């Protein structure tokens, strides 16, 4: 009966709401990038200690990081979200279940952002106590590039990409629906973990470059979306890895700049 009451407007409003959410995230990030607070989403900005107390700095960072996730990562997860919405179309609580799926997905990325922020503050503390390390800051940038590049060749990267490229198989494997609310949240978190497995090094690279740098966000967001959602994305992964490793080596040699340094 519920299914019979649905109209084509449901799908149109759903698509419009998703598009508006992503567009709003990009718009806020664009304004953030043009503001004096742009550096607060980057490695250098955290080291500057511009916000006190520390919990306020973490809160501001998490807000910006969540916007980055919505803008850069959520669009390429829409195949699973849309498929899930189709599967549960007859349920009266379908909108709430889709929301739980998205919240579970975003929750994984928010937790990763908080961990990255904490580790970065520790890096700044260690470097601040060691003049030798401070003088070799190029090593940190080169290490990020090389790690991101090497990870492109690992079995874990390719396994996570396979999961992201097969939303139907993923849904069949992980959706049970016996406890719909908890299962939807768990499904989103699992998808978030595989998405994290695909892209965590590239998001750290975004973090190192500067989280509110719109041009780099668009570029890396497009690359990650192509890897995860297109048939030809599998041919992009290893060449990208090789390019990142070469960039790291050249940067260490002083031949290629790094945007945040």
- pLDDT-derived band at 191 (thresholds 50, 70, 90) equals very high
118 domain residue, yes or no: yes
- Residue 223, number of CB atoms within 10 A of its CB: 17
Helix 137-151 vs helix 94-128: angle between axes, to the nearest 10 degrees? Answer: 140
**Residue 261: inside a domain:** no
Residue 259 lies in a domain: no
Q: 24 in a domain, yes or no?
A: yes
Q: What is the pTM of this model?
A: 0.87
d(CA 211, CA 54): 19
- Does 257 fall in a domain? no
Res. 2 pLDDT band, cuts 50 70 90: very low
Q: Does residue 14 sit within a domain?
A: yes
d(CA 33, CA 1): 48
* Interaxial angle between packed helices 214-229 and 8-33, expressed in degrees from 0 to 180 and rounded to the nearest 10: 140
Domain for residue 35, yes or no?
yes
Total structural domains within the chain: 1
Which residue range is the domain that position 42 belongs to? 3-252
Most confident of the ranges 71-75, 134-138, 187-191? 187-191
54-63, 83-92, 99-108, 230-239: which is most confident: 99-108
Compare 3 and 81 and report the one with higher pLDDT. 81
Backbone torsions φ then ψ of 38, nearest 5 degrees: -60, -35
pLDDT tens-digit map of 231-256: 888 899 999 999 999 999 998 888 87
Structure-model confidence comparison of residues 180 and 32, the more confident one: 180
**Is 78 inside any structural domain?**
yes
């Amino acid at each position: 009966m519920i299914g019979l009451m649905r109209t084509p407007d449901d799908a149109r409003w759903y698509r419009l709401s998703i598009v508006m959410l992503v567009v709003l995230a990009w718009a806020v990030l664009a304004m953030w990038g043009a503001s004096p607070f742009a550096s607060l989403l980057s490695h250098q900005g955290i080291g500057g200690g511009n916000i006190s107390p520390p919990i306020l700095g973490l809160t501001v960072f998490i807000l910006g990081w969540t916007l980055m996730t919505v803008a850069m990562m959520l669009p390429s997860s829409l195949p699973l979200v849309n498929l899930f919405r189709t599967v549960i179309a007859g349920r009266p609580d379908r909108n709430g279940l889709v929301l739980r799926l998205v919240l579970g997905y975003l929750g994984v990325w928010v937790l990763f952002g908080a961990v990255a922020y904490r580790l970065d503050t520790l890096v700044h503390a260690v470097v601040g106590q060691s003049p030798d390390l401070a003088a070799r800051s190029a090593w940190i940038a080169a290490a990020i590039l090389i790690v991101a590049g090497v990870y492109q060749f690992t079995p874990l990267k390719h396994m996570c990409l396979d999961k992201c490229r097969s939303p139907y198989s993923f849904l069949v494997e992980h959706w049970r629906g016996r406890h719909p609310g908890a299962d939807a949240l768990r499904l989103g978190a699992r998808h978030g973990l595989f998405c994290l497995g695909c892209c965590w090094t590239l998001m750290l690279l975004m973090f190192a470059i500067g989280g509110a740098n719109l041009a780099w966000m668009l570029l890396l967001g497009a690359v990650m979306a192509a890897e995860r959602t297109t048939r030809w994305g599998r041919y992009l992964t290893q060449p990208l890895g090789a390019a990142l490793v070469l960039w790291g080596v050249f940067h260490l040699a002083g031949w290629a700049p790094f945007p945040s340094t």
